[in-house]
């Protein structure tokens, strides 16, 4: 399922960024190309201005001058004297001449078909010069041209110079630019898809892990619930057919197992609340030494029952109050003492202590019990983890330390476990 989501997210990320990138590329190309055409047309107009000024100053238009101008500006010149093509137009080879004639005709057609052209007029000493620039696409070569018609008129004759400039180079330049953008866009989309794949993978990783944990939690919870429930069912079944004097025994079993189920369900509820960030922590100034003392008194009978010596070490002066939820911290202390009593053999020793180092409060529960291996130390805070299932008593589900961990984490503190010299474990809560 996550593979599909991963793929879809990658496609979505790549798709959206690619669309944005392509739109931006189009906008850039549009602005850049219109700018290029505008500049080219302006440069052509300026050149035509210069050429018309030169023409104005010449009494005779020489062929050398026309050839030089053609070669310099990449322009085509056509000179018409009173509408008749000038000799210059016929200098090239016949094949070229015919294509030049076609182009001249096309340019004249384009010029006459455009009525709203801007005409620049300059009145010289001998004559009046007008020039007018326009754009057209040659149907024969399918190439765009800029054209200019320069007219010099005197009362008895009109000289018309038609200058054409092919936009082939500019169009090639634009085509190359488009191709470059296309290649850049394709490369960027490829890179984006790789990046999106890793990025969405990283995003999904905690979700996948969380889902695995949830599945494991449900499997372990069902397993733990099945045992007491099957005991309850079979005891109830036996109770139905049992003689009255034996029913009490079965009812007692049902009650005991019912209590186990209820305690397991409440533990699971606590953990689920913590997972959903609905873990109510009511911070208030708390006297940790008093809390520890209360727990010490509460567990004294249980310790005595197992012939375990339970002692408490408090600092000489009164401890300042610590901001904490007293009920939750009492729950943590109870879990630690309960574990210490469970995993410490008879005649063992458990010591409770509280102290303040710098700005931190340390609550420790130390026992000289069976201890925890380094390998297990990494796992004991996991849900439903028990070092040796057979070693734990029936009321140990492997949830105590994970609850303690969540409570301490919600307080912004931490919980550590270390070995005790001579055997045993020391759990320290730092707040």
Give the β-pairing of 309-313 and 349-357.
parallel
For the CB of residue 364, give the shortest distance to ligand ADP in the complex, in Å: 12
Q: Please state, in angstroms and rounded to a whole number, the distance separating the CA atoms of residues 424 and 419.
A: 6
Place of tokens 């016929």: 90
Q: Please state, in angstroms and rounded to a whole number, the distance separating the CA atoms of residues 223 and 87.
A: 107
The two tokens of residue 397 are 């589900």
235 in contact with ligand ADP (CB under 6 A): no
Q: Calculate the CA 395 to chain-centre distance.
A: 45
Q: Which is nearer to ligand ADP, 200 or 270 (CB)?
A: 270
Q: Which is nearer to ligand ADP, 33 or 376 (CB)?
A: 376
Q: Which is nearer to ligand ADP, 147 or 400 (CB)?
A: 400
Q: Which is nearer to ligand ADP, 118 or 375 (CB)?
A: 375
Q: Please state, in angstroms and rounded to a whole number, the distance separating the CA atoms of residues 245 and 430.
A: 53
Q: Please state, in angstroms and rounded to a whole number, the distance separating the CA atoms of residues 329 and 291.
A: 8
Q: Please state, in angstroms and rounded to a whole number, the distance separating the CA atoms of residues 147 and 163.
A: 6
For the CB of residue 418, give the shortest distance to ligand ADP in the complex, in Å: 11
For the CB of residue 400, give the shortest distance to ligand ADP in the complex, in Å: 3
For the CB of residue 236, give the shortest distance to ligand ADP in the complex, in Å: 27
The two tokens of residue 310 are 């339970």
Asked whether the beta carbons of 309 and 351 are under 8 A apart, the reply is no
| 85 bridge partner residues | 80
Q: Which is nearer to ligand ADP, 251 or 420 (CB)?
A: 420
Q: Which is nearer to ligand ADP, 365 or 431 (CB)?
A: 365
Of the candidates 167, 386, 411, 431, which one interacts with ligand ADP according to CB under 6 A?
386
For the CB of residue 211, give the shortest distance to ligand ADP in the complex, in Å: 22
Pick the stretch among 63-71, 147-155, 393-401, 408-416 that binds ligand ADP (CB under 6 A). Answer: 393-401
Site string for ligand ADP, 351-370 (x = CB under 6 A): ----------------x-xx
Q: Which is nearer to ligand ADP, 105 or 418 (CB)?
A: 418
Across 75-176, where does the E strand assignment appear?
Answer: 75-81, 84-85, 119-123, 128-138, 143-154, 157-166
- DSSP code for 358: T
Q: Which is nearer to ligand ADP, 147 or 228 (CB)?
A: 228
Burial class from Cβ neighbours inside 10 Å (0-12, 13-18, 19+) for residue 337 reads buried
Tell me the site size for ligand ADP, rule CB under 6 A.
Answer: 21
Of the candidates 199, 392, 420, 430, which one interacts with ligand ADP according to CB under 6 A?
392
* For the chain, counts of helices (H) and of strands (E): 9, 13
217 in contact with ligand ADP (CB under 6 A): no
Place of tokens 């911290």: 329
Q: Please state, in angstroms and rounded to a whole number, the distance separating the CA atoms of residues 309 and 275.
A: 37
Of the candidates 6, 108, 306, 396, which one interacts with ligand ADP according to CB under 6 A?
396
401 in contact with ligand ADP (CB under 6 A): yes
310 in contact with ligand ADP (CB under 6 A): no
397 in contact with ligand ADP (CB under 6 A): yes
Residues in contact with ligand ADP by CB under 6 A are 335, 339-340, 343, 367, 369-370, 372, 380, 385-387, 392, 396-402, 425
């Amino acid at each position: 399922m996550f593979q599909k989501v991963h793929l879809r997210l990658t496609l979505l990320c790549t798709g959206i960024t690619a669309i944005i990138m392509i739109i931006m590329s189009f906008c850039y190309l549009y602005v850049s190309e219109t700018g290029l055409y505008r500049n080219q047309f302006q440069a052509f107009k300026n050149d035509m201005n210069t050429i018309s000024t030169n023409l104005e100053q010449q009494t005779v238009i020489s062929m050398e001058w026309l050839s030089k101008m053609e070669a310099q500006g990449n322009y085509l010149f056509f000179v018409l004297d009173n509408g008749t093509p000038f000799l210059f137009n016929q200098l090239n080879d016949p094949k070229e001449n015919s294509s030049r004639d076609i182009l001249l005709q096309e340019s004249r057609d384009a010029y006459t078909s455009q009525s709203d052209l801007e005409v620049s007029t300059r009145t010289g000493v001998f004559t009046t010069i007008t020039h007018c620039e326009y754009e057209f696409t040659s149907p024969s070569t399918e190439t765009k041209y800029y054209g200019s018609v320069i007219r010099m008129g005197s009362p008895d004759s009109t000289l018309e110079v038609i200058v054409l400039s092919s936009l082939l180079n500019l169009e090639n330049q634009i085509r190359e630019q488009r191709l470059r953008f296309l290649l850049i866009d394709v490369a960027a989309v490829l890179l984006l898809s790789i990046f999106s794949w890793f990025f969405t993978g990283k995003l999904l990783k905690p979700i996948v892990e969380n889902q695995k944990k949830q599945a494991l939690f449900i499997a372990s919870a069902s397993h733990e619930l099945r045992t007491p429930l099957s005991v309850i069912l079979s005891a109830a079944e036996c109770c139905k057919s049992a003689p009255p004097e034996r029913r009490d025994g079965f009812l007692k079993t049902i009650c005991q197992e019912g209590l186990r189920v209820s305690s397991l369900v409440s533990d699971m509820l606590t953990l689920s609340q913590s997972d959903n960030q609905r873990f109510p922590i009511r911070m208030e100034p708390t006297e940790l030494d008093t809390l520890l003392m209360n727990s010490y008194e509460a567990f004294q009978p249980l310790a005595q029952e197992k012939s375990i010596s339970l002692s408490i070490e408090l600092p000489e002066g009164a401890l300042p109050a610590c901001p904490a939820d007293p009920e939750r911290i009492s729950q943590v202390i109870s879990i630690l003492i309960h574990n210490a009593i469970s995993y410490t053999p008879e005649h063992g020793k458990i010591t409770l202590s509280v102290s303040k180092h710098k700005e931190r409060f340390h609550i420790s529960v130390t026992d000289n019990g069976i201890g925890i291996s380094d390998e297990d130390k990494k796992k004991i805070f996991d849900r439903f983890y028990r070092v040796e299932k057979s070693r734990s008593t029936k009321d140990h589900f492997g949830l105590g330390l994970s609850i303690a961990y969540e409570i301490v984490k919600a307080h912004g503190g931490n919980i550590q476990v270390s070995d005790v010299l001579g055997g045993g474990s020391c759990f320290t809560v730092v707040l």
